[in-house]
Amino acid sequence: MLAPATLADLGDAAMLFDLYRKFYRKSSDLPQEVAFLRERITRHESVIFVARDDHGAAIGFAQMYPSFSSLSLSKVFILYDLFVHPEARQCGVGKQLLAACVVHAKSAGAGSLNLSTAVDNFVAQALYESAGWQRDDAFYVYEFMIT
């Protein structure tokens, strides 16, 4: 079972985080990404899992943020980031990361986990649905950018 990442995992988590951001067409900025993840870990503002292969190489990560649901009157986690290195895909790493997130959320007393993904990310959608996640067709997601 995966354990939440510590500062000892920061370099590997940042490398995967950088690849994840590139996947979503964001510019690479490793120093800022390291600082961002360091702050999340030290302030206990997120939970990060790093999956490793049999040789200890980092091959995937997930990051979730604690929040609350006014409607269900419960704690929730938002699974904001999930990425598996392209060379490690189709090997169960994504399911392993999802399972670790579920176990952690349950142990923290959360009532649910939420995530969103790009509408054209069919591979991720298939992963989530195969792991028992259900797409929410009742709510739309809106964003307001603060510039």
Task: Please tell me which residue, 140 or 15, carries the higher pLDDT value.
Answer: 15
Residue with token string 């302030």: 43
Q: Helices marked H in the chain — which ranges?
A: 10-23, 30-42, 93-107, 122-130
For the segment 16-41, the average pLDDT, to the nearest whole number, is 96
pLDDT at 141: 87
Mean confidence (pLDDT) of the chain: 95
Which helix (H) or strand (E) segment is 67 a member of?
strand 58-69
Domain map of the chain by residue range?
7-130
For the segment 44-51, the average pLDDT, to the nearest whole number, is 97
- Selected from 1.10.150.20, 3.40.630.30, 3.30.9.40, 2.60.40.1080, the CATH number assigned to the domain covering 7-130 reads 3.40.630.30
pLDDT in tens, 61-75: 999 999 999 999 999
Question: Would the pLDDT of 1 be above 80?
Answer: no
pLDDT in tens, 73-100: 999 999 999 999 999 999 999 999 999 9
Q: Cβ distance 53 to 10 under 8 Å? A: no
Question: Would the pLDDT of 13 be above 90?
Answer: yes
